[in-house]
Structure 1
Amino acid sequence: MSTILAPLVRAATYARWLHLLVGAVFACVVLLVYPGTEGPLGWPALVGVSALLDGALLCLAALIPATRRAEGVQAALLLMPAREDAIGTASSASWADRGRTALWLVARVALGMGVALLTVHGLIAVVGLVRAGGYLLPCAPLLLVAMVYTVALAGRLQLAMAVRLLGPSAGERLAEAEARAERLLERNRLARELHDSIGHALTVSVLQAGAAREVADPAFREKALEAIETTGRRAMEDLERMLVLLRDHPDGPAVEHPGLDRVEVLFETARAAGSPVEARIEVAGARLPGVLSREAYRIVQEGVTNALKHVPGTPVRVHAGTADGLLHLSCATALPAVPQAGGRRSGGKGLRGIRERAALLGGEAVAGPVDGDWVVRVRLPLRLGS
């Protein structure tokens, strides 16, 4: 019963009724201006001439790009679609959009005119039944209810036309889906960078602080505090940049993305934390594509951070070079004497991030024990997209 009575009490029914009546105003104005309601022409001829003139004017109005936006905003407000993005609110961007807008305007005015005639004559009939009284009086509310149900059906038809003709086209939906996917990928990339940068900074700071507490040499403590300060400041800059991007704030302070040419600074912080680094960097970061140099830096950073976290004080061997059109990266450290629960063997977030970075660039990453060492090897194509 509630489903049957819903159209009578639903706000959408009366909002759509208003939208339909607004569409009829244009036809009424055109009819009054030309050819008018008085003259030698009969009503059928008047309606025909008015319809032709309405169609011509509506097609001309549809050529204006802003018309589609205005109709979309009004339809989204009064037709009350279930999804906010079901009806577009953008201006016409192509001739196909203008054609769909013209069809919408003609259909809207035609349906609106029909509903307006139904409303006027229906109300006149209801008033007539009330005045007549007697046994005809109970027919008045029944006629009124029937009129509301008819208008509710017309409103649903109007909404379906709006979604079809004013909604985003297939190309627009595809473009929006691609843009949404790009935004998601960008946020995932920022999350990985945040994990790598902050994780590295916290690891170095913890190790430096622990070493400074154990060593009584003032010079060593001073150097450890300086390393903690430098690492923390760099991490704060990365955090600020990433928060600005996540908040879609284009006017925020720009911070340079570190590339492979900055790995020596990374190695210095690791050495200051007590882990010797043996590095062979046989490729210039400046000669690599920007995205490749940046991602290579993050991969090396994650490898060094893993070494500092799981086997502190153990030498780290890093190699970067090119061969066969590929950038080869490797990071090797001695396996811990006692495997740690949840350690690198289980493949944590760091290794997963390395694999994701490599896959996005068309490369691959493998990690595992080799001759008593834990080795991470990454191969990335020098020509992205190949």
Structure 2
Amino acid sequence: MILAPLVAGASYARLLHLLVGWIFAGVVLMIYPGTYGKSLGGILTSAVPLDAALLALVALVPAVRRAEGVQARLLLVPDREEDIGVEPSGTWADRRRTAGWLVGRVVLGSAVGFVMAFGLAPVFDLLTGPHALRYLPLVPVLALGCGWLVVWVGRLQLAMATRLLGPSPAERLAEAELWAERLLERNRLARELHDSIGHALTVTVLQAGAAREVGDPAFAAKALEVIEETGRQAMEDLERTLVLLRETPAGGASAGGASAGGAVRNAVATEQPGIDQLPALFDTARAAGSPVEARIEVPAGVLPGVLSRESYRIVQEGVTNALKYAPGQPVAVRVAVRDGHLELRCANRLAAVPVRGGAGREGGKGLRGIRERAVLLGGAASAGRADPLGPPAGPSADGAGEWVLDVRLPLRLGA
């Protein structure tokens, strides 16, 4: 345990990094003020200000920060490379931090070089003198001490590099925001897949089951036609989403990542169905055996594109839930603009005999996705059992009740 750090390759790489700083100080010292006839105090008072001034001037060059970051990653061997940045200086704060790093690096390297060059010289004289055998037991102790000095100073330099060459708080915040944006994009694509594929599978299962039960060739042909059309639409949605996922970088914050995120948003925005395609959705539900009464009271051109697309997906999920958990029961859908808001309501009679798997409806992924969509659009959503409002979606004869989904979204996003 004591010797492991002393034989690790990272310790010697860090020693090399330290010696580079010492060599820089030595070169400057040889040029000015020199060492001939100078005391140690005189050398320090003359050389330190000159070194610091030169390093501060060098730190003004943006590329220096990048060069130092690359070198630190290679020689200081951090646990995570991203802890040390490799971007050029972009602000004056970056330049100040780079200057602090350069000065600190030279100070640490010079201190270690001074100890090794001048501190060990008297010990070397003793070990090579006439009484060398008397001082021979000191060799392991000195070797261990020097080795651990290099290890600890190397660790100190790594910590300093992480602090001064690592991403600034503003850069970390920007990276976190970009990562959060990318996660939101992927969550959105996941919701799109859930809504589209879930609806297609629900319709397919219902149509296939009904065709088998009825046994009418004409009905079976119609069911197969609906299954074919629904499956084709689902395959198109799946292919489009997979293309977008392949084009989105998996990780790393970069300008390219931001552009890819924007490309995903634009592609999703331009290719998704809107509220004008709700009649086709209702026809699919009717073909699956559930009567649908729909009232769409939205003037043309009133809804923004994103609101139209999200509203379609919300209604689609509501209808899919009705088909899934109460197949064959009447469904009433109302889409209307009231007081600057878009109101979406989807109500269906509850099945007298609960459908297998229907117990998890209230906490399902679909309803959670609807609530997330509503919140992102500045609105709210609620779903659950409710008192019947009338014949279209009233309670069944046995008093099973109805299930109602209500969503209210502002027409002006952010309002």
**TM-score normalized by structure 2?**
0.83
Query: Which residues of 2 match residues 203-282 of structure 1 at below 5 A?
Result: 203-247=202-246, 248=248, 254=267, 256-282=271-297
Please state if 1:64 is matched with 2:61.
yes
The aligned counterpart of 1:20 is: 18
Residue 85 (1) aligns with residue 61 (2): no
* Residue ranges of structure 2 left out of the alignment (5+ in a row): 250-259, 389-394, 396-401
Q: 1:100 aligns with which of 97, 101, 118?
A: 97
Alignment partner, residue 73 of structure 1: 70
Percent identity over the alignment? Answer: 63
CA drift at 1:127: 4.2
Label 1:345 to 1:153 Cα distance change in 2 as closer, same or farther (>3 A). closer
Code of the residue aligned with 1:308 in structure 2: it is L
Paired residue secondary structure (1:367): strand
Residue of structure 2 in register with 1:121 after alignment: 118
CA displacement, residues 50-79 of structure 1 (integer Å, 9 cap, x when unaligned): 433332332222122222122122223322
In the alignment, does 2:324 pair up with 1:327? no
| 1:244–1:131 distance in 2 versus 1, CA, 3 Å | farther
Counterpart amino acid of residue 13 in structure 1: S
CA contact (8 A) 1:345 1:368 kept: no
State the distance in 1 between where 2:139 and 2:164 align: 37
Check whether the contact 2:58–2:64 (CA below 8 A) recurs between aligned residues. Answer: yes
Paired residue for 1:292? 307
Deviation of 1:344 (Å): 5.9
Q: Is the 8 A contact 2:29 2:35 kept in 1?
A: no
1:326–1:382 contact (8 Å) kept in structure 2: yes
Match of 2:379 among 363, 376, 383: 363
Indicate the residue corresponding to 2:137 in structure 1. Answer: 138
Deviates most, 210-219 or 90-99? 210-219
Q: Greater shift after overlay, 207-216 or 244-253?
A: 244-253
Native 8 Å contact 1:190 1:242 kept in 2 = yes
8 Å contact kept, 2:377–2:414: yes
* SS, match of residue 188 in structure 1: helix
2:406 alignment partner in structure 1: 377
3-state SS in 2 of match to 1:376: strand
Contact 2:333 2:345 (C-alpha < 8 Å) held by counterparts:
yes
Question: Which moves more between the two structures, 70-79 or 192-201?
Answer: 70-79
CA contact (8 A) 1:367 1:377 kept: yes
Contact 1:261–1:286 (CA<8 Å) still a contact in 2? no
Q: Deviations over 1:7-34 (max 9, x none)?
A: 43444332321221122232233334x2
Partners of 1:344 and 1:321 lie apart in 2 by 29
Quote the Cα distance in structure 2 between the aligned partners of 1:15 and 1:285: 69
Partners of 1:156 and 1:355 lie apart in 2 by 49
Distance, in Å, in 2 between the alignment partners of 1:126 and 1:230 is: 89
Whether the 8 Å CA contact 2:325–2:358 is kept in 1: the answer is no
- How far off its partner does 1:353 sit? 1.8
Whether the 8 Å CA contact 1:299–1:354 is kept in 2: the answer is yes
Per-residue CA shift, 1:189-227, capped at 9, x if unaligned? 222221111111111111222233344555443433332
1:350 aligns with 2:349: no
Residues 15 and 79 in structure 1, CA contact (< 8 A), matched pair in contact too: yes
Aligned-partner Cα distance in 2 for 1:72–1:259: 49
115 and 320 in structure 1: CA distance in 2 versus 1, 3 angstrom threshold:
same
The alpha-carbon deviation at position 121 of structure 1 amounts to 3.1
Q: Which runs of 5+ in 1 are unaligned?
A: none
Cα deviation, residue 232, structure 1:
1.6
In the alignment, the residues of structure 2 paired with residue 317 and residue 304 of structure 1 have an alpha-carbon distance, to the nearest angstrom, of 9
User: After alignment, is 56-65 or 285-294 more displaced?
Assistant: 285-294
CA distance 1:124–1:38, change in 2 (3 Å): closer
The Cα shift of 1:377 comes to 0.6
Counterpart CA distance in 2 for 1:186 and 1:112 is 47
Corresponding residue for 2:175? 176
Give the residue type in structure 2 aligned to 1:205: T
- Secondary structure in 2 aligned to 1:279? strand
Q: CA deviation at 1:254?
A: 4.9
Between the aligned partners of 1:346 and 1:261, the Cα distance in structure 2 is 28
Report the alpha carbon displacement of residue 262 of structure 1 after superposing the two structures with TM: 2.2
Aligned residues of 1:261 and 1:285 also touching (Cα < 8 A): no
Residue 170 of structure 1 and its aligned partner are, at CA, apart by 1.9
Q: Which amino acid is the alignment partner of residue 114 of structure 1?
A: A
For the 8 Å contact 2:325–2:354, the answer to whether it is kept is no
Give the structure-1-normalised TM-score: 0.88
Q: Cα offset for 1:166? A: 1.3
Letter in 2 for 1:277: V
RMSD: 2.7
The separation in 1 between residues aligned to 2:67 and 2:277, in whole angstroms, is 53
- The residue type equivalent to 1:274 in the other structure is G
Does structure 1 retain, via aligned residues, the 8 Å contact 2:89–2:95? yes
